[in-house]
């Protein structure tokens, strides 16, 4: 596997991975909240994921790396930096569903952490959902030694 910096020509591959990787995540999220809340909170998950992906790919302050196997992009990670909070963040990470459970996500995380450390930060954060669709992400983060910092988010449709 080769990890390299993102190039503009990679964007379509990242879009394809993003849609396939997040589809089961949003299906799990939908099943974990009421329909009333979900339809307002996530009116169009595909459009939101594309907006988020475009934002990270187009922001020069965010570092994006891609993982390649056999000259195919199989995953990516985006790192953002928050000096006001003394931390770097693995802001977005995605692995092609056909290539998951092969250590690609862990390798991307390790490279992202090294990049954050090289910029002088001593704390790294990654956020994910508590729903069933994010279970494998949580398992990866915990396996890597991340500690859960519990936050409660309550939603009410008005």
User: Is position 153 within any domain?
Assistant: no
Q: Count of domains in the chain?
A: 1
Domain residues for the domain of 70 are: 2-143
Q: How far is the C-alpha of 68 from the C-alpha of 75, rounded, in Å?
A: 7
pLDDT tens digits for range 19-53: 999 898 888 888 888 988 988 988 899 999 999 99
| DSSP category for residue 21 | H
User: Is position 156 within any domain?
Assistant: no
CATH number at residue 107: 3.40.630.30
- pLDDT for res 42: 85
User: Is position 150 within any domain?
Assistant: no
Q: How far is the C-alpha of 12 from the C-alpha of 5, rounded, in Å?
A: 15
Q: Which residue has the higher pLDDT, 158 or 57?
A: 57
């Amino acid at each position: 596997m080769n990890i390299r910096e993102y190039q503009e020509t990679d964007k379509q591959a990242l879009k394809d991975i993003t849609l396939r990787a997040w589809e089961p995540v949003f299906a799990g999220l939908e099943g974990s909240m009421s329909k009333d809340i979900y339809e307002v909170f996530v009116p169009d998950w595909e459009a939101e994921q594309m907006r988020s992906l475009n934002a990270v790919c187009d922001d020069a302050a965010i570092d994006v790396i891609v993982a390649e196997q056999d000259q195919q992009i199989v995953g990516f990670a985006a790192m953002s930096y928050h000096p006001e909070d003394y931390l770097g963040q693995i802001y977005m990470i995605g692995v092609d569903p056909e290539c998951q459970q092969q250590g690609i996500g862990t390798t991307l995380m390790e490279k992202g952490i090294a990049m954050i450390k090289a910029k002088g930060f001593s704390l790294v954060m990654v956020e994910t959902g508590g729903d069933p669709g994010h279970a494998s992400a949580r398992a990866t983060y915990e396996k890597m030694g991340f500690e859960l910092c519990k936050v409660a988010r309550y939603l009410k449709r008005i």
